[in-house]
A and B are shown apart, each in its own frame.
Chain A
Amino acid sequence: MLNTPEILIVEDDAQIRRFLRTTLAAEKLRYHEAVSAAEGIAQAKARQPDLILLDLGLPDADGLDVIRAVRETSQTPIIVLSARGQEADKVTALDLGADDFVSKPFGVGELLARIRAALRRSATIRDGAVGTVYQAGTITINLEARTIRVAGQEVHLTPIEFRLLETLVRNAGRVVTQRQLLIEVWGPQHSEQGQYLRVYMAQLRRKLEADPARPRYLLTEPGVGYRLTTE
């Protein structure tokens, strides 16, 4: 990363744009603004930004159309801004190739964490520097050795539990939809069996989390999927 990352804001509301601008500038990030879907698509193609912040409710077209258009040519990370209660839209956006979402209203901390995670991930993919060891709090995960330690103690996982954790680790910091997890772990024919995921996630939490009823790392995004936080 030689340059400071460039971020494209696609948002029609002036006040939110202003707030995003201030926040990004304070973090020393460069930014461009687009106020409509058409403009967003045009700028995404012309400027090749490092990340796109996309509002789903745009005046001229659905934000989902922007995702489709961008994904035709590039893998630029896209973070969707959407309201609570639009879980179905979020899932669609994620399945179309968006990387993550932030629910309005959101705090600066949450937004910056998502941006950082997305940028980091795209950098690792670009540089081909895929790591094998991850650290989340007291949990250490070695994907190559297939060992997991919680506070230094080795924890034994079943093959399915491991595959589930592995998928979350590879997308660390980012939300993974239920469907994506089911396809990764159980295969495409089980993509609708949400209960598999629920049960195994509960088991995983019991093995890794200090208080499974108040998880710190394996978080549920209700109606969307799961997220492994690394911070």
Chain B
Amino acid sequence: MVEPHRPDPDALLERMKHEANQGSRGRLKIFFGASPGVGKTYAMLQAAHLERKAGVEVLVGVVETHGRAETESLLEGFDILPRKRIDHRGMALDEFDLDAALALRPGLILVDELAHTNAPSCRHRKRWQDVLELVDAGINVYTTVNVQHLDSLNDVIAQITGVVVRETIPDSILDEAGDIELIDLPIDELHRRIQEGKVYLPQQAKLAMESFFRTGNLIALRELALRRTADRVETQMDAYRGRHAIRSSWPVNERLMVSVGPSPFSAKLIRSAKRMADRLDAPWIAAFVETSRYRKAKPEVRQRVLASMRIASELGAETVTLAGEDVAATLLTYASSRNVTKIVLGKQTGPLWKRVWRGSVVDELLGNSGDIGIIAISGEPENLANDWPAGTAPGAIAWRGSIFTLATVLTCTVLSIGLRDALDPVNLVMVFLLGVLAVAIHLNRTQSFLASILSVAAFDYFCVPPYNTFVVSDYEYILTFIVILTVGLLVSTLTGRLRLQANSAVEREARTHLLYRFVQALADERHPRELGDHPWRIVSEAFQVDTAILLPDQDGKVTQQADLGSFTAPETELGIAQWVFDHGQKAGEGTDTLSGAKALYMPLRGARQALGVLAIRPRSSDALTTPEQQHLLEVFCSQAALSMERAQATEEAQTAKLRAETERMRSGLLSAVSHDLRTPLATITGAASSLRAQRQHLDTPAQLGLIECIEQEAERLARLVNNLLEITRIESGSIELKREWIPLEEIVGSSLIRMGSALEPRPVQVDIPVDLPLLFVDEILLEQALINILDNASRYTPANGAIHISASTQNGGILLAIEDSGPGFRPGEEAQIWEKFYRGSAGTGTGAGLGLAICQSIVRAHHGTIEAANRPGGGATFRIWLPVPPQQPEIPDHA
């Protein structure tokens, strides 16, 4: 029964995205086989021939013929890409030339042996990474791989064949490939081919038949290959069903979580979990609980955890590192927060007493898991004794510890001998117990054990009658011994654990503090778009590395900003940085990609795109080795990228706001141009034409009146144009102050002269003290500001009204007041007058409403203030305050 459903919109979107990607990406076809010799390369070449006949441009990237004549004959007629010769420790290796292939952009490229490991100086460590890059670049790829190279089947195959395959590929490649063609060959046929020498040379063939190519092995491998292909077909079927909204069964909302530990067995555990998750069609999480004990583990152990986590993420898991002391409780808390339905973990197989003594994580989980299912998988015994070092420098500590223990016991003994006549032996035991406690608190379990034995011996010898013998007459002293021993061990275990917890708290605190400082530095950054030096200095200090920031230019080409970073990324590695920027993946030292580089390149990846590249060069070989450091560094990078992205967004928002304002400005300008400019023009044209046409009818005074009219309107037009030009200049941000030292008097004087007759006949009174300090201003702009205010005053002040200009020093600056005797402002108008295109209600309405806005811009550009108010006796006051630099210039011979 097929019931149509409406497809889930999210899934639909996901698929659309996937298909869109498919559009620009190339198609990957994998020729998949159970073992070498089944004819994958042969099949691939045959398929390529068909393509070539269909007109596709085919390029042979890498094809390994292994000297097989049949295969070699098929190579004829193809263009073959020359291999890149690489010197590696005196050995010449011929590798696939990825860059040449990318440059040629063939329609189809053949790249044999997908699981191949590249020479160290190649861009990628693995060939499958090369192939993915080709596909990303839109090139179709044919490739071959055997089932034993699949990551998730790796350990199963190792168990079956006894051969551990080191060259693996992530399962996701197989899952995401466009096509898979299973090249199947019956086992007898394969054997026949091997015997005929078609697969290996005769002497190798015999050896091969006896080891890897044993019938049993081949049957198992063939079954695995068939099953894996069937799984994929099923996935395709699911995808088809999804596309057509066919749902045969309700999906179970399962979510798996696998607990990753430092044991080598973890990799196997992860692969099992992956298979389980696939079967359940469930998302899965790989979680690692970082305890304080783990932090003391050897680097190899931590490396193993990192490797396991990487495997998990390559197999498609979400990876998470949790901090906590109690593994079971931490796992359960996280599991319930993420709605995990099943937890997969390894069964501890150590001795029973140890499990009872320490408590097993599995048992603890089983006891507290509630609804969550627990799946324990048996593994190999964990040989953790080697992995967990007892202390940092056991030798030194043991020596000093033993001396402390001996001294303590000796002190207790001397004290007891002194007191043994006054006290009961039962009480003397307390003295020894005190000593054992002291040792237990300060030292480890070995030392408290030693202290207990020594104490009991000393107690027995010196304090139990008969003195100075080891004869224990009473069994109760055995109890004494046991009590002392137990107390000592318990206390040392407890204090040890506390100490570790305190240490880990301190460490976590340090990490948090570092992150806080970094985020703080990011927040303080004045140009977060490109991020200055400060945040990266914190990184340099904390990790003992040198850093450099590479940012893209308009063409998306990354270059190092001259002043950013503590070292210069080598020219030769700019290509790596570019690759990192383009692909959003890290590369360089310590990674799988271009690991031969001198520095590590991490992308600064924001939510939308990569914003830059952080280059990191370790100062010493042990910098950046711990997984925690690498993790922290990734956190730093993403924080920095987010901050840069936020700054970009803010900038864009500001630009948008500016654009909106400019738009408003423009419409204001339009109205100014259309109305305010046309009015004087109309007067001029009218007056001029009447002078011309009616010359004979007009008497001299009338003619003069018209001429005066033309003159005045032309002046008004000139003022308007001037203001329009000025505001455009100011708004465009090109206002640049040409500051000079100048007396205020001079500016007032030249502006009054420029106003000319416009102020007449209004009396203008100027009161400027002689001893004012010099201003440091742009003369022309400030004159413009004054003219605009005087112009305003002349328009609003009646013909007989006075204008008063005065100045005084105030607040480390000069206050200039211009008072008119016009009508003043309506209530609330004082604030509005500064707006562009605002025109006072009481005025003659001849301005474009720009003068005062310009005035305000000019004063603000000088860091001054301007305000308007009504005068108590009527009229308006404009007050301009301009700062005066405290250091006045020196004038020679100045009296």
Contact = CB atoms under 8 A, between A and B. Distances in A.
Interface of A: 84-85, 87, 105, 158, 160, 186, 193-196, 198-202, 205-206, 211-215, 219-220, 222-223
Most chain A CB atoms below 10 A, which of B774, B780, B891: B891
B774 A198 contact: yes
Contact of B749 (A105, A200, A214): A214
Nearest to B783: A222
Interface of B: 714, 718, 722, 725, 738, 740-743, 745-746, 748-750, 752-753, 764, 766, 768, 770, 774, 779-780, 783, 805, 889, 891-895
A213 B894 contact: no
Contacts of A186: 892
Most chain B CB atoms below 10 A, which of A200, A206, A213, A223: A213
B783 A196 contact: no
14 contacts: A186-B892, A193-B889, A195-B742, A195-B891, A196-B891, A213-B745, A213-B749, A214-B753, A219-B750, A220-B746, A220-B750, A220-B753, A222-B780, A222-B783
The list of the 5 closest CB pairs from A to B, nearest first, reads A195-B741, A213-B766, A220-B750, A195-B889, A223-B780
Given A158-B895, A215-B749, A223-B780, 5 more contacts: A186-B892, A199-B891, A213-B768, A219-B753, A220-B750
Given A85-B725, A213-B766, A202 B743 contact: yes
Given A85-B725, A206-B770, A213-B768, A220 B892 contact: no
A105 B714 contact: yes
A198 B893 contact: no
Most chain B CB atoms below 10 A, which of A158, A198, A200: A198
Given A213-B768, A223-B780, A198 B714 contact: no
B712 to A, nearest CB: 12
Given A84-B722, A201-B746, A220-B746, A214 B779 contact: no
Nearest to A199: B891
Contacts of B742: 194-195, 198
B891 A223 contact: no
A219 B783 CA distance: 14
Contact of B752 (A196, A205, A213): A213
A223 B779 contact: yes
Contacts of A202: 743, 745-746
A214 B764 CA distance: 10
Contacts of A222: 750, 779-780, 783
Contacts of B718: 105
Contacts, number: 70
A206 B772 CA distance: 14
Contact of B753 (A196, A205, A215): A215
B892 A196 contact: yes
B749 A212 contact: yes
Contacts of B764: 214
Contacts of B740: 194-195, 198
A107 to B, nearest CB: 8
A194 B741 CA distance: 7
Given A222-B750, A222-B783, A212 B745 contact: yes
Nearest to A211: B766
Contacts of A205: 745, 749
B508 to A, nearest CB: 61
B192 to A, nearest CB: 93
B434 to A, nearest CB: 86
A199 B766 contact: no
B156 to A, nearest CB: 83
Most chain B CB atoms below 10 A, which of A87, A220, A222, A223: A222
B709 to A, nearest CB: 15
A86 to B, nearest CB: 11
Contacts of A206: 770
Contact of A160 (B743, B750, B779, B893): B893
A221 to B, nearest CB: 8
Nearest to A105: B718
Contacts of B891: 195-196, 199-200
Contacts of A215: 749, 753
Nearest to B753: A219
Contacts of A196: 891-892
A215 B751 CA distance: 11
Nearest to A85: B725
A198 B741 contact: yes
A87 B895 CA distance: 32
A195 B725 CA distance: 29
Nearest to A220: B750
Contacts of B774: 195, 198-199
A99 to B, nearest CB: 21
Nearest to A214: B752
A87 to B, nearest CB: 6
B758 to A, nearest CB: 14
A8 B537 CA distance: 68
A87 B770 CA distance: 28
A198 B743 contact: yes
Nearest to A206: B770
Contacts of A201: 746
Given A87-B780, A105-B714, A198 B895 contact: no
B664 to A, nearest CB: 25
Given A211-B766, A214-B766, A219-B753, A198 B746 contact: yes
A91 to B, nearest CB: 11
B742 to A, nearest CB: 5
A66 to B, nearest CB: 26
A126 to B, nearest CB: 32
Contact of A199 (B725, B768, B779, B894): B894
Contacts of A214: 749, 752-753, 764, 766
B794 to A, nearest CB: 15
Nearest to A190: B892
Contacts of A198: 740-743, 746, 774
A91 B892 CA distance: 25
Contacts of A87: 780
Nearest to B711: A107
A205 B746 CA distance: 10
A223 B777 CA distance: 12
A199 B753 contact: no
A231 B742 CA distance: 27
A87 B768 CA distance: 27
Contacts of A85: 725
A205 to B, nearest CB: 8
A231 B239 CA distance: 97
Contacts of A195: 740-742, 774, 889, 891
Contacts of B714: 105
Contacts of A194: 740-742
Contacts of B766: 211, 213-214
A38 to B, nearest CB: 30
A198 B891 CA distance: 10
Contacts of B894: 199-200
Contacts of A219: 750, 753
A206 B770 CA distance: 9
A199 B894 CA distance: 9
A32 B805 CA distance: 48
B750 A199 contact: no
A160 B774 CA distance: 19
A158 B895 CA distance: 9
A190 B355 CA distance: 92
A202 B749 CA distance: 11
A84 B746 CA distance: 19
A196 B774 CA distance: 11
A200 B746 CA distance: 11
Most chain B CB atoms below 10 A, which of A85, A195, A201: A195
A201 B747 CA distance: 12
Given A84-B722, A198-B742, A198-B743, A158 B893 contact: yes
Contacts of A223: 738, 779-780
A220 B895 CA distance: 23
A213 B790 CA distance: 15
